[in-house]
C-alpha cells in the first residue's frame, strides 16, 4: 500500500440528525482513512443512509460536522471530481444505452467524454452491453452502471451505499478488485453493505452503528477473532506446552486444538521445539456476521427511518 497524506481523509465529528424528538443519527463520530476500504455496517433503521446523506450535504445535521480533506462537501472546489457516489438507485431512462446515459452524466458534471469508455471498462460493461438499452439491463448491470457514473471523475474518494446489491459472484469479485485497487492508490473508500461475508473479504476497517449510535470501530482483524486450528497425534502434550504462553486453548474432537492468541509460526515453533508432529495447522477467522449480530441484535429495534 502506498503512503497516504490524509489529504482526502473523511472525518465524521459528533453528527446528530433529529426528526422531531427522535435522533436518527446520535452523536456519531469516526474517521475513514485514505488507502483503506472501510465498511459502514448496521441493521435496517440504524441511520447509515442518513449519515451518508449528511456526508454529501444531501441532509443537514442537527449538530456536528463532516469534512473531506478538511472541507465540507459543499465547500470542495471540485466536488464532482473529488467524491464518487452511489447512494440511491439511479433513475435510468430505459430507452437510452448505457454509454449514452454516462455521456449525459459526464456532460452535466463537467467530466471529459473520454472518461465514459474508461469507466465502463472499469466496471466490466464492455462495448456490447454499453450499446444496449438500459431497460434491458439486469439489476446487477444497472448497479455496474451506477458505479461507472461514480468513477467518471476518477475521484480520490468513494462513498458507496450497497454497491454489491444485485451483483452476481463474478460482479462481486470484480467490485472487490476494483475497490482494493483504488485503496492501493491511496484513495478513500467507504461502503455500506448487508453482504457481510463479502465485506469480511473486502474491507480493512469496520464501523458498526445501531439505533444511530456508534457501536464499535476497528480493523477487520481486530473485530474478527482470528484463531488457529491444530491437528496433532499429541493434543494434550501440545496443549500443555502452548498453555505456558498464556493463550486460550480449546479442544475440538479427539486430535484437534483451537488456539487464540498465537500466530501459526509461533505454534509451529512450539511444536517443533517439543518434537510434536502436526497434521494440520491452519487459520480460522471468526465470522464478521457473528460479530455483527452479537453487537446489533436487540429486542428494541426501531422502525427504519434511514
What pLDDT, in 10s, does the model give residues 244-274? 988 778 777 788 888 877 889 999 999 999 9
CB 304 within 8 A of CB 244: no
In 3-state terms, what secondary structure has residue 99? helix
Angle at 299 between CA 294 and CA 304, to 5 degrees: 95
Pick 4 or 223 by higher pLDDT.
223
pLDDT of 291 strictly over 80 = no
| The pLDDT of residue 286 | 67
Q: Is the pTM of this model over 0.85?
A: no
Residue 302: the pLDDT is 40
Identify the pLDDT of residue 300: 41
Q: Which fold has domain 226-288?
A: Alpha-Beta Plaits (3.30.70)
Q: On the CB side of 113, how many CA atoms lie within 13 Å of its CA?
A: 6
CATH 3.30.70.270 for domain 10-220, yes or no, is no
- Residue intervals in the chain for CATH 3.40.50.300: 10-220
Residues of the chain with CATH 3.30.70.100: 226-288
Amino acid at each position: 500500500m502506498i503512503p497516504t497524506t490524509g489529504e482526502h481523509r473523511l472525518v465524521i465529528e459528533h453528527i446528530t440528525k433529529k426528526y422531531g424528538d427522535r435522533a436518527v443519527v446520535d452523536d456519531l463520530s469516526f474517521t475513514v482513512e485514505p488507502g483503506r476500504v472501510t465498511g459502514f455496517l448496521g441493521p435496517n433503521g440504524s441511520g447509515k443512509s442518513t449519515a451518508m446523506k449528511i456526508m454529501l450535504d444531501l441532509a443537514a445535521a442537527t449538530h456536528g460536522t463532516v469534512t473531506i480533506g478538511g472541507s465540507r462537501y459543499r465547500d470542495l472546489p471540485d466536488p464532482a471530481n473529488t467524491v464518487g457516489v452511489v447512494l440511491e438507485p439511479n433513475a435510468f431512462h430505459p430507452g437510452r444505452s448505457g454509454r449514452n446515459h454516462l455521456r449525459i452524466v459526464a456532460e452535466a458534471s463537467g467530466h471529459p467524454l473520454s472518461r465514459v469508455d474508461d469507466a465502463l471498462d472499469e466496471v466490466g460493461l464492455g462495448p456490447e452491453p454499453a450499446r444496449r438499452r438500459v431497460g434491458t439491463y439486469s439489476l446487477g448491470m444497472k448497479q455496474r452502471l451506477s458505479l461507472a457514473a461514480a468513477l467518471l471523475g476518477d475521484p480520490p474518494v468513494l462513498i458507496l451505499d450497497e454497491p454489491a446489491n444485485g451483483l452476481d459472484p463474478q460482479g462481486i469479485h470484480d467490485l472487490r478488485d476494483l475497490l482494493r485497487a483504488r485503496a492501493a492508490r491511496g484513495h478513500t473508500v467507504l461502503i455500506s453493505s448487508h453482504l457481510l461475508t463479502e465485506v469480511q473479504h473486502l474491507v480493512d476497517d469496520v464501523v458498526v452503528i445501531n439505533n444511530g449510535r456508534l457501536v464499535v470501530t476497528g480493523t477487520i482483524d481486530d473485530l474478527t477473532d482470528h484463531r488457529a486450528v491444530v491437528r496433532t497425534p499429541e493434543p494434550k502434550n501440545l496443549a500443555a506446552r502452548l498453555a505456558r504462553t498464556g493463550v486460550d486453548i480449546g479442544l475440538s474432537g479427539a486430535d484437534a486444538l483451537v488456539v487464540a492468541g498465537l500466530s501459526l509460526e509461533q505454534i509451529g515453533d512450539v511444536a517443533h521445539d517439543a518434537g510434536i508432529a502436526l497434521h494440520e495447522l491452519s487459520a480460522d477467522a471468526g465470522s464478521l456476521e457473528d460479530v455483527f449480530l452479537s453487537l446489533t441484535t436487540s429486542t428494541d429495534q426501531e422502525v427504519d427511518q434511514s
